[in-house]
Amino acid sequence: MTQFDKENRTTDLDILEAFVSIKRGQSKHKESTLHKPLLLLFMLGKYWNNSARLLLFQDMRFPFEQLLKDFCGPKIHDEAVMYPFWYLQSSHQIWTVVGEKTINKWFGAKNRSDKRPSIADAMNCALFGGFTPHVYRRIINDKVMLLEIVFTVLREFFPIAKHIPLLQSIGIPSKSKPSVFQQQIFANYHYSCSICEFPGIRNDASMDLQVAYIRPPVAGGPKTNQRNCITMCDKHKNLFDFGAFTISKESEILISEPFRTRGGSQNLLSYDNKRAIFPDDPNTRPDERYLAWHRTKAFQTAS
């Protein structure tokens, strides 16, 4: 049983911190490898497509090996697939390995990670690997949280230029190329989320950055007025549209009381009363008329 399973007070922020705190292996040149982050993304892609929690090693071996070759170079060690699969257990809050047969001959009772089975051993022993039950339950029915983990791993371990190719490789579809109008809005906000400053991707398909209408066109808002638009990452756009938070006249982020009392995302709660990042140019900053509409018509209030 993992620490997450034992504690009912685990927050989304705790889970995100566990993903960015993984201990990575080192290459012969003493550089941190990307094998573990790639395995995390590989599994997140499987879960995005509704995979079971645990995957049989022999089923994931060759697809994951191809991912390693695509993003770490074609000349990877024969056992490179086994390294992250086995040693990611040191991040016990996230990853677990189980087998149908005993595998005690490869590790002592006190330390499961002190020895590593070979690929042949893993195949013969029918080893399964995957996220711990707590993490799996948290993300399998909440694709917004799953995406937040994906983007956190991408941002922490990979350059922006690799984000879209990685998303495509793990089976998470990217959106179509932004329109000229959307690209202008992105440029106004320096290609980042106005709430968390998550970076977008310039001149390319991007699923992590969107244009959020303050007053949506379906509610009478203008569709091509830059001052009715704010750039946000997927997660914060969804929450803004839902009315989980709004923005004050002084640009402060205000969290709705119903969202707060329901135990909403710790990630969003951490931005309560902080200032949204808006353009300096008054011609592109959000118009207070639209923000006032959002505060009175879209923002969730206690009934």
Residue 165 sits in the same domain as residue 64: yes
More confident residue, 164 or 207: 164
Claim to verify: residue 161 and residue 199 sit in the same structural domain: no
What would the 3-class secondary structure string for 149-176 be?
HHHHHHHHHCCHHHHHHHHHHCCCCCCC
Pair (16, 162) in one structural domain: yes
pLDDT: which is higher, 25 or 277: 277
- Are 161 and 227 in a shared domain? no
Torsion-angle region of 217 (φ positive above 0: left; ψ -120 to 50: alpha; else: beta): alpha
Q: Which of 147, 170, 193 is the last residue of a domain?
A: 170
233/210 Cα distance (integer angstroms) = 6
Give me the pLDDT at residue 102, please.
Answer: 52
**206 close to 200: Cβ distance less than 8 angstroms:** yes
- Answer whether residue 273 shows pLDDT above 80: yes
The residue with tokens 């990630």 is 267
Residues 129 and 215 in one domain: no
Average pLDDT over the chain, rounded to whole? 82
Q: How confident is the model at residue 226 (pLDDT cuts 50, 70, 90)?
A: very high
Confidence of residue 115 (pLDDT cuts 50, 70, 90): low
Q: Of 51-55, 244-248, 263-267, where does mean pLDDT reach its minimum?
A: 263-267
Q: What is the pLDDT of residue 248?
A: 97
For residue 44, CA distances in Å to 37, 41, 92, 149 come to 11, 5, 17, 8
Q: What is the token pair recorded at 267?
A: 């990630």
| Cα 260 to Cα 246, 255, 256, 267, distances in angstroms | 13, 7, 6, 12
In this structure, the answer to whether residues 163 and 184 fall within a common structural domain is no
The residue segments making up the domain with residue 85 are 3-170
The yes-or-no verdict on residue 198 having pLDDT over 80 is no
Partners of 55 in the β-ladder:
129
**pLDDT tens figures, 131-154:** 999 999 999 888 778 877 887 888
> Does the pLDDT of residue 113 top 50, yes or no?
no
List strand residue ranges (DSSP E) for 21-173, in order.
54-56, 95-99, 127-131
pLDDT digits (tens, 9 = 90+) for 205-218: 344 688 999 999 98
Residue 154's pLDDT is: 85
Residue 246 and residue 126 share a domain: no
Q: Please, how many CA atoms are within 13 Å of residue 28, restricted to the half-sphere of its CB? A: 2
Reading the block at residue 123, the tokens are: 């195949």
Asked if the model's pLDDT at residue 291 lies above 60, the reply is: yes
Candidate from 110-114, 197-201, 220-224, 262-266 with smallest mean pLDDT? 110-114
301 DSSP assignment: -
Res 294 pLDDT > 50: yes
How many domains is the chain partitioned into structurally?
A: 2
End of a domain among 123, 139, 170?
170
DSSP state letter for 36: H
Q: Is residue 66 very low, low, confident or very high in pLDDT (cuts 50, 70, 90)? A: very high
Which pLDDT value is given to residue 108? 47
Predicted local distance difference test score (pLDDT) of residue 93 = 85
Q: How confident is the model at residue 25 (pLDDT cuts 50, 70, 90)?
A: low
